[in-house]
Amino acid sequence: MHDPLVRVMLSGGCFQLMSALVEKATKNVEFIRGASLGDSPRALPMRLDAGEIADVIVFAEDAFPRIRGFLHNETSKRFLAGSSIGIGTVSPKYRSAPTSFAELLDLLRDVEAFGYSTSVSGQYVMHRLAELGVSVEICKKGVPSGDSSVGRLLLNGNAQIGFQQISELLEIKGVRVLGEVPAEIQKRTNYYIGVLERTRNVGEANRLIDEALACRTLDILTGLGLSAEEKLGD
Protein backbone atom coordinates (compact mmCIF):
# COMPACT_ATOMS: atom_id res chain seq x y z
CA MET A 1 0.00 0.00 0.00
CA HIS A 2 1.40 3.38 -1.05
CA ASP A 3 1.62 6.37 1.28
CA PRO A 4 -0.90 9.14 0.54
CA LEU A 5 0.30 11.65 -2.05
CA VAL A 6 1.76 14.81 -0.51
CA ARG A 7 2.02 17.90 -2.72
CA VAL A 8 5.13 19.96 -1.95
CA MET A 9 5.39 23.51 -3.26
CA LEU A 10 9.02 24.57 -3.22
CA SER A 11 11.67 27.01 -4.31
CA GLY A 12 14.16 25.74 -6.88
CA GLY A 13 17.03 26.27 -4.44
CA CYS A 14 15.91 23.23 -2.43
CA PHE A 15 14.53 21.01 -5.19
CA GLN A 16 17.50 18.64 -5.32
CA LEU A 17 17.65 18.49 -1.52
CA MET A 18 13.98 17.64 -1.11
CA SER A 19 14.19 15.09 -3.93
CA ALA A 20 17.06 13.35 -2.13
CA LEU A 21 15.34 13.48 1.29
CA VAL A 22 12.01 12.23 -0.06
CA GLU A 23 13.78 9.34 -1.81
CA LYS A 24 15.51 8.35 1.46
CA ALA A 25 12.22 8.65 3.35
CA THR A 26 10.42 6.70 0.59
CA LYS A 27 7.49 9.11 0.56
CA ASN A 28 4.94 9.59 -2.22
CA VAL A 29 5.41 13.22 -3.27
CA GLU A 30 4.47 15.56 -6.11
CA PHE A 31 6.71 18.63 -6.44
CA ILE A 32 5.44 22.03 -7.57
CA ARG A 33 8.37 24.32 -8.36
CA GLY A 34 8.44 28.10 -8.35
CA ALA A 35 10.49 31.10 -7.26
CA SER A 36 10.09 32.19 -3.64
CA LEU A 37 9.40 35.73 -4.81
CA GLY A 38 8.51 37.54 -8.02
CA ASP A 39 5.54 38.44 -10.20
CA SER A 40 5.56 35.31 -12.37
CA PRO A 41 2.38 33.21 -12.14
CA ARG A 42 4.68 30.32 -11.22
CA ALA A 43 6.18 32.11 -8.18
CA LEU A 44 5.09 30.51 -4.90
CA PRO A 45 3.17 33.51 -3.49
CA MET A 46 1.35 33.99 -6.81
CA ARG A 47 0.37 30.31 -6.89
CA LEU A 48 -1.01 30.59 -3.37
CA ASP A 49 -2.85 33.81 -4.20
CA ALA A 50 -4.46 31.98 -7.11
CA GLY A 51 -5.79 29.29 -4.78
CA GLU A 52 -3.45 26.46 -5.77
CA ILE A 53 -3.60 23.53 -3.35
CA ALA A 54 -0.55 21.96 -1.73
CA ASP A 55 0.30 20.34 1.60
CA VAL A 56 3.86 21.45 2.33
CA ILE A 57 5.89 24.48 1.27
CA VAL A 58 9.65 25.15 1.14
CA PHE A 59 10.52 28.83 0.83
CA ALA A 60 13.30 31.38 1.21
CA GLU A 61 13.20 33.48 4.36
CA ASP A 62 12.57 36.70 2.43
CA ALA A 63 9.27 35.28 1.21
CA PHE A 64 7.89 34.72 4.73
CA PRO A 65 5.89 37.98 4.87
CA ARG A 66 4.07 36.93 1.67
CA ILE A 67 3.61 33.30 2.68
CA ARG A 68 2.93 33.43 6.43
CA GLY A 69 -0.84 33.88 6.00
CA PHE A 70 -1.01 30.63 4.00
CA LEU A 71 0.74 28.50 6.65
CA HIS A 72 -1.23 26.11 8.83
CA ASN A 73 0.67 27.53 11.78
CA GLU A 74 3.11 30.32 11.00
CA THR A 75 5.12 29.74 14.17
CA SER A 76 5.87 26.12 13.23
CA LYS A 77 8.09 26.75 10.19
CA ARG A 78 11.29 24.73 10.51
CA PHE A 79 14.77 25.41 9.22
CA LEU A 80 15.73 23.22 6.28
CA ALA A 81 19.01 24.53 4.82
CA GLY A 82 21.17 27.58 4.23
CA SER A 83 22.25 28.74 0.80
CA SER A 84 24.72 31.17 -0.78
CA ILE A 85 24.87 32.97 -4.12
CA GLY A 86 27.42 31.66 -6.59
CA ILE A 87 28.74 32.38 -10.07
CA GLY A 88 28.23 29.82 -12.81
CA THR A 89 29.50 29.49 -16.36
CA VAL A 90 29.87 27.06 -19.25
CA SER A 91 32.73 29.01 -20.83
CA PRO A 92 36.29 27.64 -20.53
CA LYS A 93 37.51 31.25 -20.46
CA TYR A 94 36.49 31.71 -16.83
CA ARG A 95 38.28 29.48 -14.31
CA SER A 96 37.63 30.88 -10.84
CA ALA A 97 35.35 33.23 -8.97
CA PRO A 98 36.53 36.80 -8.33
CA THR A 99 37.92 37.18 -4.82
CA SER A 100 37.21 40.91 -4.51
CA PHE A 101 34.61 43.39 -5.71
CA ALA A 102 37.23 44.98 -7.98
CA GLU A 103 37.81 41.62 -9.68
CA LEU A 104 34.05 41.17 -10.04
CA LEU A 105 33.78 44.53 -11.82
CA ASP A 106 36.57 43.49 -14.21
CA LEU A 107 34.63 40.29 -14.93
CA LEU A 108 31.38 42.18 -15.57
CA ARG A 109 33.19 44.54 -17.94
CA ASP A 110 34.64 41.57 -19.82
CA VAL A 111 31.41 39.65 -20.48
CA GLU A 112 28.84 40.53 -23.11
CA ALA A 113 25.98 39.52 -20.79
CA PHE A 114 25.44 38.03 -17.35
CA GLY A 115 22.41 36.12 -16.13
CA TYR A 116 20.64 36.57 -12.82
CA SER A 117 17.76 34.89 -11.06
CA THR A 118 14.43 36.72 -10.92
CA SER A 119 13.96 35.41 -7.37
CA VAL A 120 15.69 36.32 -4.10
CA SER A 121 19.35 35.94 -5.11
CA GLY A 122 19.16 37.79 -8.41
CA GLN A 123 17.05 40.61 -7.05
CA TYR A 124 19.62 41.12 -4.29
CA VAL A 125 22.61 41.05 -6.67
CA MET A 126 21.08 43.65 -8.99
CA HIS A 127 20.07 45.84 -6.04
CA ARG A 128 23.57 45.72 -4.58
CA LEU A 129 25.28 46.44 -7.91
CA ALA A 130 23.20 49.60 -8.29
CA GLU A 131 23.68 50.52 -4.63
CA LEU A 132 27.45 50.17 -4.96
CA GLY A 133 27.52 52.55 -7.92
CA VAL A 134 28.08 50.08 -10.75
CA SER A 135 27.42 51.87 -14.04
CA VAL A 136 24.10 51.62 -15.82
CA GLU A 137 26.03 50.37 -18.86
CA ILE A 138 27.23 47.32 -16.93
CA CYS A 139 23.90 46.69 -15.20
CA LYS A 140 22.17 46.69 -18.59
CA LYS A 141 24.18 43.58 -19.47
CA GLY A 142 22.05 41.66 -16.96
CA VAL A 143 19.64 39.08 -18.41
CA PRO A 144 16.85 37.91 -16.05
CA SER A 145 16.12 34.18 -15.95
CA GLY A 146 12.33 34.63 -15.97
CA ASP A 147 10.54 31.32 -15.47
CA SER A 148 13.65 29.41 -16.54
CA SER A 149 16.96 29.18 -14.66
CA VAL A 150 20.28 30.96 -14.89
CA GLY A 151 21.87 27.65 -15.91
CA ARG A 152 19.60 27.48 -18.96
CA LEU A 153 20.62 31.02 -19.94
CA LEU A 154 24.25 29.91 -19.82
CA LEU A 155 23.68 26.72 -21.80
CA ASN A 156 21.71 28.61 -24.45
CA GLY A 157 24.48 31.17 -24.87
CA ASN A 158 22.40 34.09 -23.59
CA ALA A 159 25.02 34.94 -20.96
CA GLN A 160 28.66 34.09 -20.24
CA ILE A 161 28.35 34.05 -16.47
CA GLY A 162 25.36 33.94 -14.12
CA PHE A 163 24.40 34.62 -10.52
CA GLN A 164 22.08 32.26 -8.66
CA GLN A 165 21.92 30.07 -5.57
CA ILE A 166 24.79 27.56 -5.81
CA SER A 167 22.37 24.66 -5.32
CA GLU A 168 20.40 25.75 -8.39
CA LEU A 169 23.49 26.23 -10.55
CA LEU A 170 24.69 22.73 -9.63
CA GLU A 171 21.38 21.26 -10.78
CA ILE A 172 22.02 22.06 -14.45
CA LYS A 173 24.36 19.58 -16.14
CA GLY A 174 27.15 21.34 -18.00
CA VAL A 175 27.25 24.39 -15.74
CA ARG A 176 30.38 24.88 -13.66
CA VAL A 177 30.21 26.76 -10.37
CA LEU A 178 33.22 29.06 -10.11
CA GLY A 179 32.58 29.76 -6.45
CA GLU A 180 30.74 32.20 -4.23
CA VAL A 181 30.27 35.86 -5.13
CA PRO A 182 32.31 38.47 -3.21
CA ALA A 183 31.02 39.57 0.19
CA GLU A 184 29.75 42.90 -1.14
CA ILE A 185 26.97 41.18 -3.10
CA GLN A 186 26.61 37.97 -1.08
CA LYS A 187 23.33 37.13 0.58
CA ARG A 188 23.06 34.00 2.68
CA THR A 189 19.53 32.68 2.60
CA ASN A 190 17.70 30.44 5.05
CA TYR A 191 15.19 28.00 3.60
CA TYR A 192 12.26 26.89 5.73
CA ILE A 193 9.68 24.15 5.44
CA GLY A 194 6.14 24.23 6.78
CA VAL A 195 2.61 22.89 6.45
CA LEU A 196 0.14 24.90 4.38
CA GLU A 197 -3.27 25.86 5.71
CA ARG A 198 -4.96 24.30 2.67
CA THR A 199 -3.38 20.90 3.25
CA ARG A 200 -5.69 17.94 2.76
CA ASN A 201 -3.90 15.96 5.48
CA VAL A 202 -2.10 17.78 8.30
CA GLY A 203 -0.80 14.55 9.84
CA GLU A 204 0.73 13.27 6.61
CA ALA A 205 2.25 16.67 5.84
CA ASN A 206 3.89 16.81 9.26
CA ARG A 207 5.13 13.24 8.90
CA LEU A 208 6.78 14.10 5.60
CA ILE A 209 8.56 17.05 7.19
CA ASP A 210 9.68 15.00 10.21
CA GLU A 211 11.03 12.17 8.06
CA ALA A 212 12.72 14.51 5.55
CA LEU A 213 14.52 16.40 8.32
CA ALA A 214 15.53 13.12 9.95
CA CYS A 215 17.17 12.04 6.67
CA ARG A 216 19.07 15.32 6.24
CA THR A 217 22.81 14.92 6.72
CA LEU A 218 25.78 17.26 6.35
CA ASP A 219 27.10 15.18 3.45
CA ILE A 220 23.82 15.58 1.53
CA LEU A 221 23.70 19.32 2.19
CA THR A 222 27.30 20.12 1.26
CA GLY A 223 27.13 17.90 -1.82
CA LEU A 224 24.28 20.07 -3.07
CA GLY A 225 25.95 23.38 -2.27
CA LEU A 226 23.88 23.97 0.87
CA SER A 227 24.66 24.58 4.53
CA ALA A 228 23.38 23.14 7.80
CA GLU A 229 23.89 26.49 9.52
CA GLU A 230 20.92 28.79 10.04
CA LYS A 231 21.88 32.43 9.52
CA LEU A 232 20.66 34.51 12.44
CA GLY A 233 19.29 38.03 11.98
CA ASP A 234 21.71 40.90 11.76
3-state secondary structure 4-28: CCEEEEECHHHHHHHHHHHHHHCCC
Domains of the chain: residue spans and CATH: 6-83+188-227 (3.40.190.10), 85-185 (3.40.190.10)
Mean pLDDT of 112-128: 93
187 three-class SS: coil
pLDDT tens per residue across span 156-171? 999 999 999 999 999 9
pLDDT of residue 234: 52
Q: Which of 32-41, 52-61, 182-191 has the lowest mean pLDDT?
A: 32-41
Q: Above 90 in pLDDT, residue 2?
A: no
Mean pLDDT of 86-106: 96
What is the C-alpha separation between 194 and 206, in angstroms, rounded? 8
